[in-house]
Amino acid sequence: MHLLDDIHTIVGVGASQLIGDFFFSIGALTPEQVDQILERQRELKAQGDDNIFGTIAMDLGLIDETAIERYVEENYGGELR
């Protein structure tokens, strides 16, 4: 299973603000980048696509899998793999 599929299962679609706050708190994203990702997420949802925050952030090249793994480890107590 792909890392982002695992994350979607664990954090779900509704965790966007929480994950955005986390990436801001560790210096991985600026507030403007969080807003950019959330706006893109709203656009995709309006088109019927429920992409999660982490997927969009990675697609935009703003974070990498290491940042996602850190989020999961610190918020859900373990590794995905």
Domain map of the chain by residue range? Answer: 3-76
Q: Which amino acid is present at 27?
A: G
Task: Give residue-wise pLDDT tens across range 32-65.
Answer: 999 999 999 999 999 999 888 999 999 999 999 9
Confidence of residue 1 (pLDDT cuts 50, 70, 90): very low
Averaged pLDDT for residues 9-18: 52
Lowest model confidence (mean pLDDT) among 6-10, 17-21, 27-31, 33-37: 6-10
Residue 7 neighbours by CB under 8 Å, 6+ apart: 52, 54, 68, 72, 80
